[in-house]
Amino acid sequence: MTRIDTTFATLKAEGKKAFVAYIMAGDTDEAKSLEIMKALPDAGVDVIELGIPFTDPMADGGTIQLAGQRALAQGMTLQKTLDMASEFRKTNDSTPIVLMGYFNPIFSRGVDAFLSDCTAAGIDGLIVVDLPPEEDDMLCLPAQDAGLNFIRLATPTTDEARLPKVLTNTSGFVYYVSVNGVTGSAEASGANVGPEVARIKSHTDLPVIVGFGVNTPEKAREIASIADGTVVGSAIVSQIAQGKSVEEVTAFVKSLADGAHSA
């Protein structure tokens, strides 16, 4: 079992929902980004999604695109992202880390080398948004052979014909994208999300976590109450973009985590 599997099993046993937080590695600089990452577990974060900066993040809205640009301008790279995870692991060996990004930097590094480096850095799972199930041989299956979860996204347009294919070889959890469009583009609606979560759960025993459009403690609670947990990214990244201190960012994260955990 990966740390992701263990975390969700523990939460289920405790009757709790998961809170997953996304940050962009290296935003606004390496030191502050690492400091925020290290503070997330104490703020109530159950799983950390660590974004890999990339020049063409097609699934991301302006907030996360700008975060990637800030990180790249500071010299952030895939290697430095892995180094950040390694540094985090020196003081935390239990909180799962999911790398989220695009295939180009991984391909450039070489899949075998990347997976070996992920294992060494203490990475638990991958979300690679531009690799469809038809390309599982390129990364998904090798990643699972290396002991990493490969987490797939389902969306409002993933119909009954497509859903089984999306779920094939998915592990860790299913990430349901609550809105059509890019990150930060609209607010999630519990009325719309509920039936979709139920539909996905009829096809899999994996936890279903809902992201995109969750930006307040109240919304985190609403969405977590109808899923196995929720993800917040753009709202947290916005706090960082505003120049908030580490303490201010983590206080905001704690309010979101408290909302999700009260579901």
Catalytic residues: 49, 60
State the amino acid at position 116 in one-letter form. Answer: S
CB 4 within 8 A of CB 149: yes
Q: How far apart are CA 16 and CA 13, in angstroms?
A: 8
Between CA 135 and CA 109, with CA 46 as vertex, the angle to 5 degrees is 35
Query: In the numeric block, which tokens belong to residue 27?
Result: 């935003």
CB 179 within 8 A of CB 185: yes
| 162-175 core/surface letters (b: 16 or more CB in 10 A; e: else) | ebeebbeebbbbbb
C-alpha gyration radius of the chain: 17
In the 8-state DSSP scheme, what is residue 235? H
Q: Which residues contact 259 (CB under 8 A, 6 or more apart)?
A: 216, 217, 218, 219, 220, 221, 224
